[in-house]
Structure 1
Amino acid sequence: MVPPSGGGKGGASSILKSGAVMALGTLASRITGFLRTAMLVAALGVGALADAYNTANTVPFIVYDLLLGGILTAVVVPLIVRAKERDTAYGERYEQRLFTLAVLALAAMTAVAVLLGPVFIGIYGGSMHGSQRELAVLFARLFAVQIFFLGVSAFAGAILNTRKRFAAPMWAPVLNNLVIIGTAAAFLLVSTGKVNPDTIADWQIALLAGGTIGGMALQTVALWPSLRGSGFRWRPRLDFQKGEIGQIGKMAVWTLAYVLITQIGFAITTRLANSAGVKGRLEHLGDVGYTPYFNAYQLFQLPYAIIGVSLITALLPRMSEHAAGGRMREVADDFSNGLRLCSVVILPAAGLMAVLAPEITTVLFAHGATSVADAHVIAEVLRMFAIALVPFAAYQLMLRVFYAMQDTRTPTFVSVAVVATNIACALTAYAVLPTNKIIVGIAGGFALAQTMGAFVGWLILRRRLGGMDGRRVFVSYVKLVIALWPLVGFGYAVHAITEAVLGTGLLPGLVALVVGGAGGGALYLLFAKLLRVGEVQTMISTITRRLPGRG
């Protein structure tokens, strides 16, 4: 029998210990990921070429999520955990069958996606035409090969997670990022002038495609030593026992419905953002389309990826065990601990994004083919995304609670409200806002939709779990919000003074970012400690114990 997790410091500390190595790996992954993004922005800019590349490079992830990604998160991990609880040897055979099925499905999906490149660009490319559309279609066909590597990598990571080996899946993306950083640097070094879809050469296309695909392949291969170290040896087999396929299918059909609904929303918002970019160039407003929106979204996800994904990955097997044993009170405790710990980092990150967005985007993106004005377009979108950070993290954690209970149907119905809100707001923004504000409005719709999802998910789970530890969550949030205001005030003051004295640009942005971030962060920690926010103290204690010379 698994001992109770508890809702106090012990439970929170245990979750943090499980997530610490993952958080470090995710931090390294995201730092190199943003360096990758910055290098690509410097090499490709934020205009027509970048829109074609980024839209096409999003397609493999869309196809993967649509047909397999959600199943891994919602179905595979809980099923493997339960199979191993039933019988260890049976669980290992079950893993082999699932892995074989995944490899075959991925190979078929990849072949079909290569053929459907023009269809995907027709859906997501908005008003792309001429050489830009031709380039996007070519990239979409080439990048489709990533689906196979992406799927195998994710499935391997899921198996490692069920074996409580969390480090490798979090560190492997660093290798992918380094390959693409090198590709972007090579593109910058060998290219002269500003390259666009009309002027890009075949060898430049080959360089970008080879680096992008090669990075994903390396990420996949890098997981194999950890898989072998965990005792996993793949032996292809499809001898599914009676009821196993039906069990997978029953859960997967609702997961596919959920992913399909969310991808409809993504397709519409991506298409509208690309259309806004085309309109902006026709109206001589600069680059105000999908790439600025895409880059702001990547920045927005950083705090959630570092702490939220790490905690969620550690929590899912744990919640699945508690749910399998019918210990719903412990599932609620796991959720409460995860949400409160996540918020310790998410809230101040959202505050810094809101007040220092121009400095963040200028330091990261205002290089090469991208100007300070282009970076400020990204900053406007980032500020709107900052509003979404807290509800987004809460909603994602709630989805994992449903998955731990092997309920994939309820998240599908919740997603209908979320996606409908997102689509309605995006269409309204496109119809009523000036062209250069459309992507800002689309980001605002995303924030409202995530808030809707968190609210509805909370109401349902409170009834299902017999409570959500709401009082303790509320008290923690009140204290954290009070501690947040000194950070916001200090950050805004640094932003205003730096802009008035030094103006805008890379050096002023770097000064404001360092001073505002460090000073604001210190004030936040001071006030959180004065307010006796237990989660902050737990996190600090966990980190300090890992420092050299400490226990």
Structure 2
Amino acid sequence: MKSNELFRASGIMALGTIISRITGFIRGILIVAVLGTALLADTYNVANTMPNILYNLLVGGALTAIFIPQLVRSFDHEDGGDGFASRLITTISIILFVLVAVGMYFAPALVRLYAPEFFTTGFETEKEIAIAFTRYCLPQIFFLGLFTMLGQVANARGSFAPLMWAPIANNIVGIVLFGAFLIFAPSVSIANISNIQVQILGWGTTLSVVVQAMVLVPVIKRLGIKLRPQWGVKGLGKSFGLAGWTLIYVLISQLGYLVTVNVATSAAVRSAQEGIERGVGYTPYTFAYYVMLLPYSIVTISIITAILPHISRLALEKKAEEVREQLVRAIRLVGVITIPSAVAFLLFGPLITSVLFIGIPLEDSRYIGYVLSALSFGLVAFSINLILIRGFNAFEDTRTQVISILIINIIAVGLSYLSLATLRNQWVTIGLGAAFSISYLLGLLVTLSLLKKHTGKISLKDFGGQHLRLFGASFGVMLPLFALTQYLDWVGVEMSQIARIGELAVVMAAAFIGYLIAGKAAGVEEITMIRHLKNSVLRRPGAAE
């Protein structure tokens, strides 16, 4: 892929992702304002997360891992790949429909699996609400699958933007839903929420995913792709063979996430039993994780989505060294954004979330920030790991990467249960953030070691020196700002919400400008990406402009 083509693709996707994340933030703020951060919010968030978990567990991970490489190869078919795509979409749609029906029937068992302490005596209301939310949200699985399949077909044909822009429609529906709810039912709680209100929130959330999927239908038609129901599995054997190992990969990942949900909801229930009903639980982890993913989503996802078809072709042409170069460049480029973001989250997590999450008590919003600070350690390693995994996918090796995710999740699960066993209940969710970070930092070394069988050795020194300079520039600029904010807290300066917004704006502006200057002074060439992305996107030696 030429550098200017990648620039355009990454730029369009990044813009779509930025708008999507902004609207998603607004939606998230409204969710917190309506439901709070305690058990009512946990019943909704556990239920609303479950469709994504089940979808990724059984279908989604396989689709995203193998669909583009296989579609790229199907372009050589007489029909240009339309038949392959039609058969795969038809087959997966049937699987998803059956999955939805089975899931809705076994909703109580699913809730018990993910939030067993909702079944504790005295929490019958939470249990029933969680089961109801689950039944209303599970149909999202079908439309998540449809969205992914249509989006990946568009990606394989070189149309990257729709997959990034469609979630904006999802968020707009959510904003209208929770905005109206906040106006007409501003003081809803676990004790007074009605069945009708639960239905409105549940079905309304599912409607947002339906809209997201339907937005892509005219896009596919405009690209001239002829999709139609087509029975049979002719030509899909290799795809589903590759999907087998990907399924194991996703299974391990989602089992690890199951432990996170279990531990977080257990901490929330136990805290409630102690009379602590604010701040703790799965909801603070969810929204801290969402904030942490912002730079990852805007930069990492945009770049790797743009380069995956390209490195798949390079792998097919057995140009392993060029694949390696593309991956290293992607890591260095992504680090320019993820490293200062991680440092900012570490130092200013509570300040950031106290500004973002309004309408809830200050201590609740700051608690989300403490979780964000704990998650920050893992942001850089998490992003690098995803880039490397796409390297495995380019070589159609869905087996070796299973070792990496297994080790990552063994570490995370062990640390999560250690947090539950040793920390006070109100600090367990912060412990989960630290478990995530440590597991990916250690797991990165494993992933690097495993990938060398395809690309040759990718060592830490290939990008480590640049990353250290970026960390040095970030800490050098932000630590004095952090000391200043801590001093203001220490002397007891009381700030209004407007004052906190101003404080964050000043800190972030100063940090951004200082980072640019310090990074350039440290000799980091990729720092110019922030001002001139085109001059530093992934670029092969000798590639034509």
**Distance in 2 between the 1:159 and 1:523 partners?**
42
**Distance in 2 between the 1:91 and 1:192 partners?**
51
Which amino acid is 2:26 matched to?
L
Residue 510 of structure 1: aligned partner: 501
**CA contact 1:332–1:469 (8 Å) conserved in 2:** no
Structural mapping, 1:12-23, within 5 Å: 15-23=6-14
Structural mapping, 1:249-288, within 5 Å: 249-287=240-278, 288=280
Which amino acid is 1:228 matched to?
K
SS at match of 2:236: helix
Q: Measured at CA, do residues 240 and 201 of structure 1 come closer, stay the same or move farther in structure 2, by a change above 3 Å?
A: closer
Residue 99 of structure 1: aligned partner: 89
**CA contact 1:132–1:198 (8 Å) conserved in 2:** no
**CA contact 2:82–2:227 (8 Å) conserved in 1:** no
Structural mapping, 1:170-189, within 5 Å: 170-189=164-183
Residue 315 of structure 1: aligned partner: 307
The yes-or-no answer on 1:113 pairing with 2:113 is no
Residue 527 of structure 1: aligned partner: 518
SS at match of 1:467: coil
The yes-or-no answer on 1:483 pairing with 2:473 is yes
Which amino acid is 1:217 matched to?
V
Which amino acid is 1:172 matched to?
A
**Distance in 1 between the 2:502 and 2:189 partners?**
33
**CA contact 1:116–1:141 (8 Å) conserved in 2:** no
**Distance in 2 between the 1:293 and 1:462 partners?**
34
Identical positions, percent:
32
The yes-or-no answer on 1:212 pairing with 2:202 is no
Residue 34 of structure 1: aligned partner: 25
The alpha-carbon deviation at position 352 of structure 1 amounts to 1.1
Could you state the TM-score of these two structures normalised by the residue count of structure 2?
A: 0.94
Q: Measured at CA, do residues 472 and 17 of structure 1 come closer, stay the same or move farther in structure 2, by a change above 3 Å?
A: farther
- Aligned residue among 389, 402, 410 for 1:412: 402
Moved more, 15-24 or 442-451: 15-24
**Could you list the per-position Cα deviations for residues 43-89 of structure 1 after superposition, in whole angstroms to 9, with x for gaps in the alignment?**
110111101000000110011001111111111111111222x3362
Q: Measured at CA, do residues 454 and 16 of structure 1 come closer, stay the same or move farther in structure 2, by a change above 3 Å?
A: farther
**Distance in 2 between the 1:408 and 1:427 partners?**
29
Residue 423 of structure 1: aligned partner: 413
The yes-or-no answer on 1:306 pairing with 2:298 is yes
**CA contact 1:335–1:398 (8 Å) conserved in 2:** yes
The yes-or-no answer on 1:359 pairing with 2:357 is no
Which amino acid is 2:36 matched to?
G
SS at match of 1:199: coil
**Distance in 2 between the 1:483 and 1:16 partners?**
26
Provide the aligned C-alpha RMSD in A: 1.8
Q: Measured at CA, do residues 123 and 161 of structure 1 come closer, stay the same or move farther in structure 2, by a change above 3 Å?
A: same
**Could you list the per-position Cα deviations for residues 323-371 of structure 1 after superposition, in whole angstroms to 9, with x for gaps in the alignment?**
111111111011011111111100011111112111111111131xx20
The alpha-carbon deviation at position 488 of structure 1 amounts to 1.9
Which amino acid is 1:206 matched to?
Q
SS at match of 1:299: helix
The yes-or-no answer on 1:168 pairing with 2:162 is yes
The alpha-carbon deviation at position 299 of structure 1 amounts to 0.9
The yes-or-no answer on 1:542 pairing with 2:533 is yes
- Aligned residue among 43, 54, 59 for 2:50: 59
**Distance in 2 between the 1:80 and 1:431 partners?**
47
The alpha-carbon deviation at position 245 of structure 1 amounts to 3.2
Residue 149 of structure 1: aligned partner: 143
The yes-or-no answer on 1:349 pairing with 2:341 is yes
**CA contact 2:74–2:81 (8 Å) conserved in 1:** yes
Q: Measured at CA, do residues 498 and 155 of structure 1 come closer, stay the same or move farther in structure 2, by a change above 3 Å?
A: farther
Which amino acid is 1:374 matched to?
D
Gaps of 5+ in 1: 546-551
Which amino acid is 1:208 matched to?
L
Moved more, 113-122 or 495-504: 495-504
**Distance in 2 between the 1:522 and 1:223 partners?**
39
SS at match of 2:400: helix
Residue 442 of structure 1: aligned partner: 432
The alpha-carbon deviation at position 414 of structure 1 amounts to 1.5
The alpha-carbon deviation at position 231 of structure 1 amounts to 1.3
The alpha-carbon deviation at position 453 of structure 1 amounts to 2.1
Which amino acid is 1:446 matched to?
F
**Distance in 2 between the 1:481 and 1:290 partners?**
30
